Amino acid sequence: MALIGRIPSNFGNLTFLVCLDLGSNNFHGNLPQEMTCLRRLKFLDLSFNNFRGEVPSWFGFLQKLQVLNLRNNSFTGSIPSFSNMSTLQTLNLAFNSLEGHIPVSLSNASRLETLELSYNSLQANIPEWISSLHNMNSLGIEYTQLVGSIPFTIFSISRIEVVAFTGNSLSGSLPNGLCNGLPILKGLYLSINKLRGHMPTSISNCSQLQILSLSKNEFDGPIHSEIGRLSNLQILELRANHFTGIIPQEIGNLVNLAKLGMEDNQITGSVPISIFNISSLQVLSLWQNNLSGLLPGEIGEIPKEIRNLVELRILDLGNLTVLYLYYNPLNGMLPASTGNLSTSLRKFYGYNCKIKGRIPKEVGNLSSLLDLVLSGNNLVRSIPTSIGNLRNLQRINLSDNKLTGLIGDHICKLQHLGDIYLGQNQLLGSLPNCLGNITSLSEIHLGSNKLSSNIPPILGNLQDLVVLDLSSNNMVGSLPPEIGI
């Protein structure tokens, strides 16, 4: 309610209070000690304010307190050794500036279901005693400078649904029996650490798992076929590790998957056809691996008798919004069925993939596309006129190919275009005058082509233009004074 100021000391007179919610205001200063008189209090929410100082140890006198939420404030110092908080079910101290260790006194809070300490500076180990909190449902200690290994006993808390340790300096490996005691785990967030070793095959025993995030660690070895048993999985993030081998066909069993991120690994082989059975997939990110054999019709590894079937299904992902394939030696052509990829597709990144041949006119069917990036390939022939159908396009990057022909007026239909990258090709003729009508243009990169004629003065209309690169062409005449004004 945009309330400001300090909490008055006579707040302690409200001894009848059971619930006190002052969250999302602009209160500041320290909390008055008189609040210890609120002995009936069960729910206390002071989140999203500007309270400062140390977290008061006198919270321990509120012996009926079940929920204590102090997240998003400016508390400093260490977490106090709360006493007599056996009724506490939720403790949220996230987004403060707390330091030190996690006090062992919290082990007495046997009813604790949610412990959230993320975004602090604790610089501590994960204590073994956390596993004694048998009612724990959600444990979040993210971006807090945790060190050491994850105690294996954590994975024996049978009621836990969320384990989140992202953004720390945790090391060691995951136990082979990781999911044997976690029947209802739904979210496992371990990204941005220093964890190593293989992905445990027992992870398939977490049958309720919806989010598995292991990105930016030092995991290696294969991605086991057992992962296909996680039928409830919605997000699978494995990027920036050292995974090797192939993508198992069983990935296609993840029928609820919305995001698959395996980029920046050492994965080889082709993308299994089974992935394209996942109709719910929205983000497919496989860039910077050693994948080959994705594009149908050009790949010897795909038997002739199923090659047509592959071409029909390989791009049949009706809900896909993001497709990242760059930095893979795909070495094939874009098939006509690219146009069937998804009417929801917003970003298509396929640069540096050794794609050859012409850009199929069916690309113009991708009506929701915002970014089309196919630079650094071996594309030939002219830019299809159907590109003009992509009325929502904001960035087109076809640079560093072997494109020829004219830059036609059809590109001027892209009235939301911000960036044009067509440099390092063999484009001919003059610049279309109508480019000056795309008022949203900020960057035009057309260097290293065979463009001729004059620079159209109408480009001076582009008030938001930041970069104009026409270098290494055959253009003549003088620089129009309208440009740069």
Which contacts qualify for 31-36: CB closer than 8 Å, 24 or more apart?
31/7, 31/56, 32/6, 32/7, 32/8, 33/9, 33/58, 34/9, 34/10, 35/7, 35/11, 36/12, 36/61, 36/62
pLDDT value, residue 299 = 33
* Lookup: tokens for 19: 């619930």
Domain total for the chain? 1
Residue 274 falls inside a structural domain: no
Q: How many CA atoms lie within 13 A of 198 on its CB side?
A: 13
Q: Which amino acid is at 431?
A: L
Give domain status of residue 213, yes or no. no
Of 438, 426, 474, 427, which is closest to residue 453 (Cα–Cα)? 474
d(CA 349, CA 347): 6
The 3-state DSSP class for residue 371 equals: strand
Is residue 420 situated within a structural domain?
Answer: yes
Type of residue at 1: M
8 Å CB contact between 130 and 101: no
Q: Is residue 483 situated within a structural domain? A: yes
Does the structure show a pLDDT above 80 at 14? yes
Whether residue 427 has pLDDT greater than 80 = yes
* Positive or negative: CA dihedral 151, 156, 157, 161: positive
Coil vs helix vs strand at 200? coil
Q: CATH no. for residue 411?
A: 3.80.10.10
Q: Which of 155, 147, 149, 146 minimizes the C-alpha distance to 176?
A: 155
Residue 283 lies in a domain: no
Higher pLDDT, 33 or 319: 33
pLDDT of residue 297 exceeding 60, the answer is: no
> What is the reported pLDDT for 293?
63
> What does the block give as tokens for 156?
């024996």
* pTM for the whole structure: 0.74
pLDDT of residue 342: 64
More confident residue, 298 or 343: 343
Mean pLDDT, all residues of the chain: 88
* pLDDT winner (highest mean) among 254-263, 267-276, 318-327: 254-263
Task: Reply yes or no on whether the pLDDT at 327 is more than 50.
Answer: yes
Secondary structure of residue 449 in the 3-state scheme: coil
Percentage of the residues of the chain whose pLDDT score is greater than 90:
65
Residue 477 lies in a domain: yes
Place of tokens 């140390």: 54
- Of the listed ranges 85-89, 362-366, 476-480, the one predicted with least confidence: 476-480
The answer to whether residue 318 scores a pLDDT higher than 60 is no
| Structural domain boundaries enclosing 450 | 382-485
Long-range contacts of 267-270 (CB under 8 A, 24+ apart): 267/223, 267/243, 267/291, 268/244, 268/292, 269/245, 269/293, 270/246, 270/294, 270/299, 270/301, 270/302
- Predicted confidence band at 309 (pLDDT cuts at 50, 70, 90)? very low
For residue range 395-414, list pLDDT tens digits in order.
999 999 999 999 999 999 99
CB 259 within 8 A of CB 298: no
Integer-rounded Cα Rg, in Å, for the chain is 29
Tell me how crowded residue 131 is: count the other CB atoms within 10 A of its CB.
18
Q: Which residue has the higher pLDDT, 323 or 213?
A: 213
DSSP 121: B
